Amino acid sequence: MTLIEQMNGRALELGLPLSVQFDVTYRCNERCVHCYLDHDDHGEMTTAEICDVLDQLASAGVFFLTFSGGEVLVRRDFFEIVEHARTHLFNVKVKTNGVLITERAARRLTELAVQDVQISVYSHHPEIHDGITKVPGSFARTLAGIRLLKAQGIKVTIANILMRQNLSDYDGVHQLAGSLGTHYTVDPTITPMMDGDLSVLKHRIPGSELEKVFRESKLVGNVEEFCAPPQPAGEDVLDGLPCSAGHTACYISPYGDVFPCVQFPINSGNVRRQRFIDIWRHSPQLNQVRSIRTRDLTTCSGCGHVGSCTRCPGLAYLEGDMRGPSTADCEKSFRRTGMPSANMLNQQAARASSSPLVQIRPLTTCLDTRA
């Protein structure tokens, strides 16, 4: 068991929020076609408010702290915020698009001992990357930012989100990451907007292309996986936790709203009105999330993928039931293994019963999806 797994297990035993993602702004200098955020400022927290919340997080036992947005560097006080966070010795990670990284900014991140900077790169072709961000020249500026960070010795991770516009470019981005000396992750998940708008899902890559991603040997170990806590040895998988959200991790918005996860938009309290520790311990919404075990999941508990599925309860919640299946994750499991999920079989049976005159082609373990 790794040290991180040991820390996570101990935090779970003690009921501690080991990890927090804190979005300090939703404002952004890019307008990515797949983004799930509203970029208008509806009253984000002040510097003093954020620093007070950071004090509360330290008292609550948080260790891993990720600053994200929007674009964090559009806040002029961002380095003041990071400096305050580091006085508490948080392990700090920063997510940015890299466009605003200057030599001075890279040097400051080094001085503050930021653990990792994650930067989104969508393609090795400038025109495709810029087409996704809707900002001409963003590719060149992002790469310049990466080089400035690397020159300061900072660990950089390139995050490659796959969608229809760049589905053929992951190998090129992987090679680009290698040439820049950065780490690389690829994520084929496009999520609904936080207000429930599903229009961005049109950018999801087709299932046949998803299959290629999971079977690409060069990407083994680089595909983003789900965030469930490690399963204790000898424990029945059905007694396990579906996800770490609300158990050892949570998310705070720029307006102080607390959620189980950035992809799990069930509002559980607000740090402008309550102490963080009170929300963490007593929120009815968080306690409802914590009450759920894998055996409580409708459909999923009886699925053959139950022990390996990347099911996200937040995506299931957006589909109408946090205890139900996430169709996007059902698709991932199917494309990994060729075995249809219980949810897929139920949907197929429902279609067959409602259309008795239509011949239904049965799902098989074959991954050939051609007609």
CB–CB of 283/258 below 8 Å? yes
CB–CB of 49/272 below 8 Å? yes
Helix axes 126-133, 138-151, angle to 10 degrees: 100
Residue 105, number of CB atoms within 10 A of its CB: 19
pLDDT at 224: 57
Considering only residues 125 and 225, tell me which one the structure prediction assigns the higher pLDDT.
125
Q: Which tens digits make up the pLDDT trace of 273-322?
A: 999 999 999 999 999 999 999 999 989 999 999 888 888 999 899 888 99
**Identity at 246, one-letter amino acid code:** G
pLDDT of residue 367 exceeding 70: no
pLDDT of residue 355 exceeding 70: no
Least confident of 40-44, 158-162, 166-170, 227-231: 227-231
CB-based contacts of 185, cutoff 8 Å, min separation 6: 157, 158, 159, 160, 222, 223, 224
Calculate the average pLDDT of the chain: 89
C-alpha 238/C-alpha 297 separation (Å) is 9
C-alpha 312/C-alpha 325 separation (Å) is 8
Beta strands 258-259 and 249-252: pairing type? antiparallel
pLDDT of residue 272 exceeding 50: yes
pLDDT at 215: 75
Considering only residues 164 and 328, tell me which one the structure prediction assigns the higher pLDDT.
164
pLDDT at 366: 32
Binned at pLDDT 50, 70 and 90, residue 196 comes out as confident
Phi then psi dihedrals of residue 64, to 5 deg: -90, 125
Beta strands 249-252 and 19-23: pairing type? parallel
Mapped onto helix, strand or coil, the DSSP state of residue 351 is: helix
What does the block give as tokens for 129?
């990357």
Q: Which tens digits make up the pLDDT trace of 167-186?
A: 999 999 999 999 999 999 99
Q: DSSP for 53-72, please give it.
A: HHHHHHHHT--EEEEESS-G
Binned at pLDDT 50, 70 and 90, residue 151 comes out as very high
Q: Is 128 exposed, middle or buried (0-12, 13-18, 19+ CB in 10 A)?
A: middle
Q: Is 294 exposed, middle or buried (0-12, 13-18, 19+ CB in 10 A)?
A: buried
What does the block give as tokens for 263?
């992809």
Q: Which tens digits make up the pLDDT trace of 23-81?
A: 999 999 999 999 999 999 999 999 999 999 999 999 999 999 999 999 999 999 999 99
Q: Is 2 exposed, middle or buried (0-12, 13-18, 19+ CB in 10 A)?
A: exposed
Which ranges of the chain does DSSP label H, i.e. alpha helix? 3-14, 47-60, 78-87, 103-111, 126-133, 138-151, 170-180, 207-215, 276-282, 284-290, 313-318, 327-337, 342-354
pLDDT at 222: 60
Percentage of the chain beyond pLDDT 70 is 90
Residue 117, number of CB atoms within 10 A of its CB: 24
pTM score: 0.89
Binned at pLDDT 50, 70 and 90, residue 197 comes out as confident
CB-based contacts of 264, cutoff 8 Å, min separation 6: 245, 246, 251, 289, 312, 313, 314, 317, 322
